[in-house]
Amino acid sequence: MRKLTLRPTRSWGVYREDHLETAFLLGRDGIASGEDGQPVDLLADAQIGLAATTELEKKQLALWKKRVKDAGGKPPIRQLSIPAQPLDFDDIGGRNSKHITIYTVSGKWRLDMGNLPGHNRAGLLDPIHGYGARIFFDGVSNGPDYNNDDVMVHGAAFYRLEGMSFGDCLPQWAVVSPEELPARYVSMAGAAFKQLAGLK
């Protein structure tokens, strides 16, 4: 049986052609269990991603919330409380966030900020399915301490990876509208970017 090193306080899913086949919770022993608590056999080539509220029925959602709570530990993100309808991404630009907020949220969501000591973007990537989302802000630099300095957020973009991650330069030909990508992914990106922008 395949063992994984994913976070145990999140609900995961096995996907085929970008559709959820099986949701599961990962035990601290690395073994996956399904809705009935029984082990789920994961194939070596299984495509795995975070399960989203858009993919779960009301009863399933309540069940997984209970399962995650019973697993113990505080989830770094409130994954199963993310609204199915994402925010209006036009509301993100022109807002002030904080230096500490950008780094904290990026760490919780494991956002890609690039490898340079300075950053002006953070992204949520789905390389398995070939798309990404990116939020842009004034430059911040790595340092020994976080601070509460204001950082202006400039907006967000969605794009197709096309086999490459693009680095800091996102070509316009790769950009797509949120409506062209799966609702589950857009809702996840919306929740992450909303937090990073300092929106409640």
- As a whole number of angstroms, the distance between CA 191 and CA 32 comes to 26
pLDDT of residue 98: 92
Q: Give residue 15's Cα distance to chain centre.
A: 16
pLDDT of residue 22: 83
Residues in the chain: 200
pLDDT of residue 1: 46
pLDDT per residue over 126-171, tens digit each?
877 788 999 999 988 877 667 888 999 999 999 998 777 688 889 9
pLDDT of residue 138: 92
Cβ atoms of 14 and 25 closer than 8 Å: no
pLDDT per residue over 55-112, tens digit each?
788 888 888 888 777 777 666 667 767 766 666 787 788 899 999 999 999 988 889 9
pLDDT (average), residues 178-200: 87
Which of residues 113 and 30 earns the better pLDDT score? 113
pLDDT per residue over 11-24, tens digit each?
788 887 777 888 88
For helices 99-109 and 183-196, the axis angle rounded to 10 degrees is 150
Cβ atoms of 100 and 195 closer than 8 Å: no
Number of H helices, E strands in the chain: 3, 9
φ, ψ (nearest 5 deg) of residue 117:
-70, -20
Cβ atoms of 127 and 160 closer than 8 Å: no
φ, ψ (nearest 5 deg) of residue 172:
-65, -30
Task: Quickly count: other Cβ atoms within 10 Å of residue 173's Cβ.
Answer: 9
Of 189, 186, 184, 193, which is closest to residue 23 (Cα–Cα)?
184
The region, left, alpha or beta by phi > 0 then psi within -120 to 50, assigned to residue 86 is beta
**Tokens 């798309």 label which residue?**
131
Q: Give residue 90's Cα distance to chain centre.
A: 19
pTM summary value = 0.73
